[in-house]
């Protein structure tokens, strides 16, 4: 066991849990010799309260059609107020199977012939498919990578794209995969441009709980009533509490007319959230805070170890500053001549995401998931270093 890979507090995030043979996409997709550090789920057990809630619900033995739990709306509204100072009415919430459903519904709810969907690349790859799904066309504003590896917004390009038949802007904040947490000033400027050009905002904020170095998340819709009225904000406990296998998402849609359009966009295709999913989500939000506090501390330690290792052992690869999420964005363009995803799979038996799948600006990059016991992270990094030594 490595230093720092011990109990963070009441929860042992350093414990290795064997996930093979559990129908895990992350661990079952490749053969046993490959170390998977790709799919964005964590290699930590969910909070004990979540596990116990699922056990109790299973012990009941009847799994009929389920309604939302009594008090869930109030619990989540209180959470928004407590964490972000954002007051919304309980009827503003829509419960959905997951966030991907949410941003697709939002686009379809406002779709018009010839209209465009705008997003900032490189970006979470399911977002790239939303224009086609909604019968719209894409508009991209590529984030600008500066010398430090940090990404910034080209506001002039963003406004040009927003002004050209754009109907909806899909924001990802904290940003997957470049790990930016956008500042209030950046969000205000994006919002102002969207208001001026009559663009709706759909904000994927699923990683809102993963922030480091004292940062605070700001939902873009919380900036003011004018922004709120044209926004769909998507949250979920799925990443935060590692319950992606029993997912539930919450869309905050204060504008009643927009909310009705989203409901209509389901068109009989989107199922209700299931009983086990609601049980897990409710327990997570009710009882998961102390677990989450310890988790963030442990992940911050992983982030720091990753940063140290890259600087000292693999300086050829540039790590973008990780402000949020548990996903590292690695620039391999000066280190690897061919596709770095294929190189690491072939030479290191390490599975990381191919940056090219995240759209424009992703070529030559890989995304690495560091939400794992520290010993697993170090093994993956050692595999990367050893692969370079064999070149």
Confidence of residue 5 (pLDDT cuts 50, 70, 90): very low
For 71-91, write each residue's pLDDT tens digit.
Answer: 999 999 999 999 999 999 999
Average pLDDT, integer, range 205-231: 98
Phi, psi of 319 (to 5 degrees): -90, 120
Same structural domain for residues 121 and 88? Answer: yes
Q: Are 219 and 227 in contact (CB under 8 A)?
A: no
Ramachandran region, residue 149 (left: φ > 0; alpha: ψ -120 to 50; beta: rest): left
Same structural domain for residues 247 and 367? Answer: no
Q: Decide if pLDDT at 96 tops 50.
A: yes
Q: Are 118 and 141 in contact (CB under 8 A)?
A: yes
Same structural domain for residues 306 and 317? Answer: yes
Same structural domain for residues 277 and 328? Answer: no
Q: Decide if pLDDT at 2 tops 60.
A: no
* Nearest Cα residue to 357 out of 28, 39, 31: 39
pLDDT for residue 391: 61
Domain boundary among 265, 287, 309: 287
Domain boundary among 256, 287, 318: 287
Task: Give pTM, 2 decimals.
Answer: 0.96
| Residue 3 per-residue DSSP state | T
Average pLDDT, integer, range 350-371: 98
- Which residues in 90-186 belong to E strands, given as ranges? 93-96, 116-119, 137-140, 144-145, 151-152, 166-172
Strand 116-119, strand 137-140: pairing: parallel
Confidence of residue 3 (pLDDT cuts 50, 70, 90): very low
Report yes or no on 207 lying in a domain. Answer: yes
Same structural domain for residues 148 and 273? Answer: yes
Token couple for 25 = 């996409």
What's the rounded Cα separation, in Å, for the pair 301 and 304?
Answer: 5
Report yes or no on 17 lying in a domain. Answer: no
Q: Decide if pLDDT at 350 tops 90.
A: yes
Domain boundary among 287, 302, 320: 287
What mean pLDDT value characterizes the chain?
Answer: 95
Domain extent, residue 367, equals 25-48+289-389
pLDDT for residue 105: 97
Same structural domain for residues 216 and 196? Answer: yes
- The partner residues of 272 in beta bridges, in order of sequence, read none
Same structural domain for residues 270 and 320? Answer: no
Same structural domain for residues 193 and 160? Answer: yes
For 166-192, write each residue's pLDDT tens digit.
Answer: 999 999 999 999 999 999 999 999 999
pLDDT for residue 6: 40
Same structural domain for residues 280 and 166? Answer: yes
What's the rounded Cα separation, in Å, for the pair 232 and 253?
Answer: 5
Report yes or no on 8 lying in a domain. Answer: no
Q: Decide if pLDDT at 4 tops 70.
A: no
CATH at residue 31: 3.90.1150.10
Average pLDDT, integer, range 135-164: 97
| Residue 91 per-residue DSSP state | G
Report yes or no on 2 lying in a domain. Answer: no
Report yes or no on 332 lying in a domain. Answer: yes
What's the rounded Cα separation, in Å, for the pair 291 and 351?
Answer: 28
| Residue 205 per-residue DSSP state | -
Confidence of residue 390 (pLDDT cuts 50, 70, 90): confident
For 323-340, write each residue's pLDDT tens digit.
Answer: 999 999 999 999 998 899
Q: What is the DSSP string of 217-276?
A: ---GGGG-HHHHTTEEEEE-STTTTT-TTS--EEEE---HHHHHHHHHHTTT-SPPPPHH
Whole-angstrom CA distances from 42 to 63, 302, 341 are 27, 13, 20
What is the number of domains present in the chain?
2
Average pLDDT, integer, range 131-157: 97
Q: Decide if pLDDT at 379 tops 50.
A: yes
Q: Decide if pLDDT at 9 tops 80.
A: no
Q: Are 246 and 47 in contact (CB under 8 A)?
A: no
In the chain, % of residues over pLDDT 90: 95
Q: Decide if pLDDT at 46 tops 90.
A: yes
CATH at residue 279: 3.40.640.10
């Amino acid at each position: 066991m490595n230093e720092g890979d011990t109990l963070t507090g009441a929860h042992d995030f350093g414990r290795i849990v064997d996930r093979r043979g559990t129908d895990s996409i992350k661990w079952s997709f490749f053969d046993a010799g490959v170390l998977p550090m790709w799919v964005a789920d964590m290699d930590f057990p969910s909070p004990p309260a979540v596990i116990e809630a699922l056990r109790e619900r299973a012990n009941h033995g009847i799994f009929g059609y389920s309604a939302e739990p009594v008090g869930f709306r109030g619990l989540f509204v209180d959470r928004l107020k407590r964490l972000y100072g954002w007051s919304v009415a309980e009827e503003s919430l829509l419960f959905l199977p997951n966030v991907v459903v949410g941003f697709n519904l939002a686009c379809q709810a406002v779709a018009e012939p010839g209209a465009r969907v705008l997003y900032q690349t490189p970006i979470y790859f399911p977002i790239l498919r939303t224009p086609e799904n909604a019968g719209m066309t894409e508009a991209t504003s590529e984030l600008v990578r500066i010398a430090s590896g940090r990404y910034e917004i080209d506001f002039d390009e963003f406004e040009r794209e927003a002004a050209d038949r754009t109907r909806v802007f899909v924001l990802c904040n904290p940003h997957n995969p470049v790990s930016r947490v956008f500042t209030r000033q950046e969000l205000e400027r994006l919002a102002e441009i969207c208001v001026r050009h009559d663009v709706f905002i759909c904000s994927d904020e699923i990683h809102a709980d993963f922030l480091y170095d004292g940062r605070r998340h700001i939902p873009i819709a919380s900036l003011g009533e004018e922004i709120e009225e044209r926004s769909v904000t998507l949250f979920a406990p799925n990443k935060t509490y590692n319950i992606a296998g029993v997912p539930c998402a919450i869309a905050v849609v204060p504008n009643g007319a927009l909310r009705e359009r989203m409901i209509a966009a389901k068109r009989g295709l989107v199922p209700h959230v299931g009983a086990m999913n609601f049980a897990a989500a409710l327990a997570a939000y009710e009882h998961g805070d102390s677990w989450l506090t310890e988790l963030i501390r442990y992940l911050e330690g992983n982030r720091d170890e990753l940063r140290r290792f890259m600087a000292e052992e693999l300086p050829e690869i540039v790590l973008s500053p990780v402000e949020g999420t548990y996903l590292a964005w690695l620039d391999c363009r000066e280190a690897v001549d061919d596709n770095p995803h294929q190189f690491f799979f072939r030479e290191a038996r390490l599975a990381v995401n191919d940056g090219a799948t995240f759209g424009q600006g992703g070529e030559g990059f890989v995304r690495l998931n560091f939400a794992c016991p520290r010993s697993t992270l170090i093994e993956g990094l050692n595999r990367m270093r050893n692969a370079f030594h064999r070149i």
